[in-house]
Structure 1
Amino acid sequence: MSEPRIAVVSAGLGDPSSTRLLADRLRDATLSALTGHGQTAEAVDVVLRPLAQDIAAHMLTHNPSGALAAAIREVVDAEAIIAVTPTFNMSYSGLFKSFFDVIEEGQLASIPTALGATGGSARHSMVMDTAMRPMFAYLKAQVVPTGVFAASEDWGTASGLERRIARAGQELADLMVAMPRRREADPFDVESDAFVSFEQMLGHA
């Protein structure tokens, strides 16, 4: 059986990006917390910046590029999600929202999820409760209690950012262990135990 996978979605517009840095810190905290449960996981980075044009085109044509389809599949098939966005006008970025808009309804239901956001100052921290939580509640994801907002002044100071990251990572790991995602086997997947070949069906006739 393969390791559970954590999809780490970051919507930073710069390179390097504080949004990507926060996503990486949340990933590391979650993986560390999982080891405390005697478990491991594979983290898969889903960086949205290179997919911006593909996302916009898909919203117009409903025909995803290969790269975008692969990114969507990484997220909807994951056992957990870490989703981090920069903050604009007290909300998530348009790129972040557009990516989750192109995911079909119901595909994120019950997936353990940790949320993070970055911004220029702490006055934007309400974005966690006013924008991100309602969005992921609508998507029916299982969001952990601690959301992590990182203002510019939080990095490299005794701001409590590292404690919040560790707490969110622990909560996500705990939820992954307590509520492991279970999927029904795809009967058309030839690698699945549920797959029945035409020859086998004839044999049962």
Structure 2
Amino acid sequence: THTHTHTHRFLFIALIKMGSSDTTVTTMTSSSPRSISPSSSSSLAPPLPSVVVSPCAACKILRRRCAEKCVLAPYFPPTDPLKFTTAHRVFGASNIIKFLQELPECQRCDAVSSMVYEANARLRDPVYGCAGAICHLQKQVSELQAQLAKAQAELVNMQCQQANLMALVCMEMSQDSSQQSSFDYFITSPQTNQSFLDDNNLGTSLWDPLWT
């Protein structure tokens, strides 16, 4: 009996030791994540700040979500809402989108500029639109062409008058120079001087009887 009691006590102590060792292992395994959690949290990158993209003027006016590949966004920036408002009043957003989708991207910018110009002209002149502005400009061009033709005719006339005046001046100058040369020849010619002296002597001989 004493031997059995001693054996049971030994087994009980062994079980207690085994239980304490399991508890220690369990505690270590359960506490290990806590010990590495600071290092793991420090290794994680901080979250990036969210980028807020402002919707284009078209989507903002239409009160709809501006998609990433919005057709209207490249041509109606949020800083110029009047541009889309004017085009939308005349053509409508659906028609504008349809026009742009039917065109290649290289022509869409010019198409938007044309639509905005036409919309502004249509608001100024609801009847004729840009056709009225074109007719007005053509009328101005015709008037300016007529004024230009008149000015060119006057210029040709003045050039002709100037040419005639220069020819007349040259003719008078040539005549004056010829007369001057003739006079100089008359003065410097020895025959002329001798005949002039002979005439003077002849005149003196004619007057001599009168004095005597």
More strand by proportion, 1 or 2?
1
TM-score relative to the length of structure 1? 0.16
**By percentage of residues, which structure has more helix?**
2
TM-score of the two chains, using structure 2 as the length reference: 0.16
Higher relative contact order by CA 8 Å / sep ≥ 6: 1 or 2? 1
